Structure 1
Amino acid sequence: MALSKNKKRFIAGATCPACNQLDSIALTLENAVETLTCVHCGYTQTQTPKQATSATRQFEQMIGVFDPNEN
């Protein structure tokens, strides 16, 4: 298994759908694919940008995206 160059970003307040552990979900983005991983039980879920767009609610708007690496 290759190690990701991207850091895991934990989602505060998220609960794992498999084990119900609070604050155990980490998000990584690699090759335009988002992967959610539970660090407690190993549950994973992936989502492509197309899937993310279709999951957005009709009147929902994005205010901005925070990139901590941007200067």
Structure 2
Amino acid sequence: MAKKRFIAGAVCPACQQQDTLRWWQENNIEMVECVACHHTDRRLPKSAQDNEHIANDKSEQVIGIFKPE
């Protein structure tokens, strides 16, 4: 299980409470959850987001990202 860490000073976008957001990574996806209202947010790593923008350009299409273990 991934170690979850609180984000000091962060405000939940759903309930607006401060210091209730915790962050962790699951399968290279950044997860953020509010412990007060259980709002969750997921973000791909920066490298995957960059590849997604290239695919949306329609000049090039990314099928997948291979990461050997």
What TM-score does the superposition give when structure 1 sets the normalisation length?
A: 0.64
Does residue 31 in structure 1 map to residue 24 in structure 2?
no
- Measured in 1, the distance between the counterparts of 2:10 and 2:44 equals 20
Flag structure 1 segments of 5+ consecutive residues without an equivalent. Answer: 55-71
| Aligned Cα root-mean-square deviation (Å) | 1.5
Greater Rg, structure 1 or structure 2? 2
**Deviant stretches of 4+, over 2 Å:** none
Aligned length: 49
Q: Which is helix-richer, 1 or 2?
A: 2
What TM-score does the superposition give when structure 2 sets the normalisation length?
A: 0.65
- Measured in 1, the distance between the counterparts of 2:32 and 2:3 equals 12
State the SS of the aligned residue for 1:21. coil
